[in-house]
């Protein structure tokens, strides 16, 4: 969620992309652990001097690093990320799912006072924060923490020691993580996250925890875990300080071009004068705000994007990700689906349909890892394997209506 290209501002997805590019040069499996342990121990002892020079206490270094072994499976994860070629409409449908809409509305009801306070303090729309929370960790679902997170110190240590392309970055983040322990904000056992070290409700890297995180619940420490107060407020601060989020402005709108040929960055009033209208036929609420036109796919929906869309994109440098976030946020708050469909798209499945698909797949021998209507890599892998076995093209892993129809026919 960091923005930019310096050690303190790399994005989590950019790190993944960089690591994928470097995959062929990395050590690749648990089987190498015994062979590399002596070399790691030598590196760990040498790294101690650097950490102490950065202000890490001897006690903290000994506590965290003294008997630490690197988690070499991070390199397996880099090299063996599931490959799914999602169309944009599939990407949106999977993230703006029936489950996320329902759970997001429940989260807003439960934490309405917190979101109101954050909106007052930082000006970030509650829908945006809800969507970030929902996409990153399913609104802080403990099952995500239990099933998909791991201790970050073994992962960060492995990367700092033996990832060749971004070693300086990983070394800096390992020291940042040690500093968090030094400050008493977290323990090594508390600090569980992704293979790259992103942690908590909204997936902070250690640098973000240290430099953007705030003690919003007043308990004397900053934490992305437990109560969501610190995580959500700090993410709002991130969007404002690193994404230049603007109070009071909406991210943008789906629009109808009505033969307008206008391009560039213009006020909504200027866009309207050229014939561009909101797809929902409502007026632009702040006509003097400026926006740029984006047409992701010819023949599909068009959008006017304001600065706050790009603020969301600072969290993850993907236009698709940002569109999914802002659209999910609008839907949680009562907005409808896009008026104009993407070419070749199908509607998003209901929760009941997804649960039926998962149940049928699992009974057919393609384990989806659960039947809760939430589509992750296990379900997508099961769908792809089903498609391959029965010659369904494209074998893209998309859990959609066509796959459900085939399952209903019997396999």
Q: Mark 362-373 as b/e (b = at least 16 C-beta within 10 Å).
A: beeebebeebbb
Domains of the chain: 12-81+150-198 (1.10.8.350), 88-148+216-243+315-345 (no CATH), 252-305 (no CATH), 351-408 (no CATH)
User: In terms of Cα–Cα distance, which of 198, 180, 144, 138 is closest to 11?
Assistant: 198
Q: What is the tens place of the pLDDT at every residue in 119-145?
A: 999 999 999 999 999 999 999 988 787
Q: Which residues pair with 254 in a beta bridge?
A: 303
Average pLDDT over residues 255-270: 95
Mean pLDDT computed over every residue of the chain: 89
Q: What is the tens place of the pLDDT at every residue in 314-332?
A: 999 999 999 999 999 999 9
Specify the pLDDT at position 75: 85
The answer on pLDDT for 382 being more than 50 is: yes
Q: What is the tens place of the pLDDT at every residue in 330-357?
A: 999 999 999 999 999 999 999 999 999 9
The neighbour count for residue 248, using CB atoms within 10 Å, is 10
Q: Between these two residues, 344 and 18, which has the higher pLDDT value?
A: 344
Q: Between these two residues, 77 and 408, which has the higher pLDDT value?
A: 408
Q: Which residue's entry shows tokens 């996320």?
A: 100
Between CA 291 and CA 253 the distance in angstroms is 9
Q: What is the tens place of the pLDDT at every residue in 52-92?
A: 999 999 999 999 999 999 999 888 776 655 556 789 999 99
Q: How many CA atoms lie within 13 A of 204 on its CB side?
A: 30
- What single string gives the DSSP state of each residue in 129-146? HHHHHHHHHTTT-HHHHH
Between CA 206 and CA 212 the distance in angstroms is 10
Q: Which residue's entry shows tokens 């909101």?
A: 278
The neighbour count for residue 261, using CB atoms within 10 Å, is 7
Would you state the structure tokens that stand for residue 294, as one six-digit string? 């984006």
CB 373 within 8 A of CB 98: yes
């Amino acid at each position: 969620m960091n923005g930019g290209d310096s050690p303190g501002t790399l994005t989590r997805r950019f790190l993944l992309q960089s690591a994928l590019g470097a995959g062929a040069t990395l050590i690749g499996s648990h089987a190498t652990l015994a062979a590399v342990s002596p070399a790691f121990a030598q590196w760990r002892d040498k790294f101690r001097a650097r950490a102490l020079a950065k202000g890490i206490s001897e006690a903290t270094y000994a506590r965290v690093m003294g008997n630490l072994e690197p988690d070499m499976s991070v390199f397996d994860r880099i090299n063996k990320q599931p490959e799914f070629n999602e169309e944009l409409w599939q990407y949106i449908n999977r993230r703006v799912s029936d489950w996320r809409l329902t759970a997001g509305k429940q989260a807003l009801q439960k934490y309405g006072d917190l979101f109101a306070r954050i909106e007052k303090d930082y000006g970030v729309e509650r829908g945006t924060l809800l969507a970030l929370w929902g996409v990153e960790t399913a609104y802080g679902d403990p099952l995500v923490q239990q099933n998909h997170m791991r201790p970050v110190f073994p992962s960060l240590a492995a990367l700092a020691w033996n990832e060749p392309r971004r070693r300086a970055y990983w070394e800096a983040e390992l020291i940042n993580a040690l500093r968090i322990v030094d400050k008493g904000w977290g323990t090594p056992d508390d600090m569980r996250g992704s293979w790259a070290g992103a942690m908590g409700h909204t997936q902070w890297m250690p640098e973000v925890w240290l430099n953007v995180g705030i003690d919003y619940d007043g308990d004397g420490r900053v934490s992305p875990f437990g109560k969501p107060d610190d995580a959500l407020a700090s993410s709002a601060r991130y969007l404002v300080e690193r994404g230049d989020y603007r109070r009071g402005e909406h991210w943008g709108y789906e629009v109808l071009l009505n033969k307008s040929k206008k391009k560039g960055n213009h006020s909504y009033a200027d866009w309207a004068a050229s014939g561009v209208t909101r797809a929902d036929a409502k007026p632009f609420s702040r006509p003097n705000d400026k926006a740029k036109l984006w047409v992701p796919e010819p023949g599909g929906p068009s959008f006017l994007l304001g600065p706050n869309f790009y603020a969301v994109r600072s969290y993850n440098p993907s236009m698709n990700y940002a569109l999914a976030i802002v659209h999910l946020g609008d839907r949680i708050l009562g907005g409808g689906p896009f008026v104009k469909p993407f070419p070749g798209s199908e509607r998003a499945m209901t929760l009941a349909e997804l649960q039926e698909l998962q149940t049928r797949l699992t009974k057919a021998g393609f384990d989806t890892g659960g039947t809760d209507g939430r589509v992750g890599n296990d379900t997508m892998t099961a769908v792809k394997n089903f498609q391959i076995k029965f010659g369904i093209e494209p074998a893209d892993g998309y859990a959609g209506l066509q796959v459900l129809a085939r399952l209903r026919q019997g396999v």
